[in-house]
Amino acid sequence: MIIDKLYERVQKRGHVTLGLDTDISYIPEDFFNKYTSMEEALVAFNKRIIDATWDVVATYKVQIAYYEALGLQGLSAYKRTLDYIREKDVILIGDVKRGDIAKTAEMYAKAHFEGDFQCDFITLNPYMGLDTLEPFLPYFKNKNKGAFILIRTSNPGAKDIQYIEDKEGRRVYEAVGAKVNVLNESLKGSCGYGPIGGVVGCTHREEGKKLRDELDNMFFLIPGYGAQGGKAEDVALYLRDGNGGVVNSSRKILLAYKDNPEGGKTFEECAREEAIRMRDEILSRL
């Protein structure tokens, strides 16, 4: 099962999910002189990052919005980036955050679990209701795919809706998490988790242990580390026996070369060093 493969990768390579949210402005200026198009420059940059880091990260998360914003060239670069990651046999998360119902959701499932944009996991938004997830379930059950469902996100605006309480005093994100957690009961792999994971930000330390205990079937995708204030010791609260979650970092790794003003290292060397630093920092707090 894909969730068992993810669990094993974390055991071997640590918890880092490298976010290839590659904005054109992240690419060194002189890099564009070597390539004839924006697409070629973007793909070449991503490939060099991947070549330098694939053995020290658990997964790559590719945020589709950065590629959609560039039109057809961007979508072609997105596909080529996904293809290259698959060649490395690294687990691939398509950060697409789809959240619709019925036939539309069925087409989203087909788009991101088959064909040109195929990924191992994708991100989904369940806040229209659990019927947003139904068209994806056959892929979880029969086609070795998985998803990370938005539960409690790391942005400040999460409290606008996710923290509203029902009559029993339970917050919306807790109710959503409990409902999604149940879906995993018949899908669990040998690692004890199901293929339906949760996006749970690490910026609310006081809630970490409670979420980990309550969502016992769910593997976590954990944003909020670094720039948003989450620390390695916060991440540890969302894990169980040192596993059960991966931690996303995008800009901090992709732009690590900007913290090397004296030069002497390539951007991919700096990215590798930052990925290893992050991996080791998290492991040291377990």
Listed in sequence order, the DSSP H helices in 61-171 are: 65-68, 71-87, 102-113, 137-142, 158-161
Assess contact for 195 and 142: CB atoms under 8 A: no
Length of the chain: 286
Reply yes or no on whether 97 is catalytic. Answer: yes
Helix-strand-coil split of the chain, %, nearest 5:
50, 15, 35
Retrieve residue 274's tokens: 């930052």
Assess contact for 180 and 151: CB atoms under 8 A: yes
Lookup result for tokens 């995008």: 250
Three-state DSSP at 278 gives helix
Catalytic residue among 5, 97, 188, 231: 97
CA distances to 45, 166, 261, 268, 270 from 264, rounded to whole Å, are 18, 57, 9, 12, 10
Retrieve residue 183's tokens: 């879906």
Residues noted as catalytic = 97
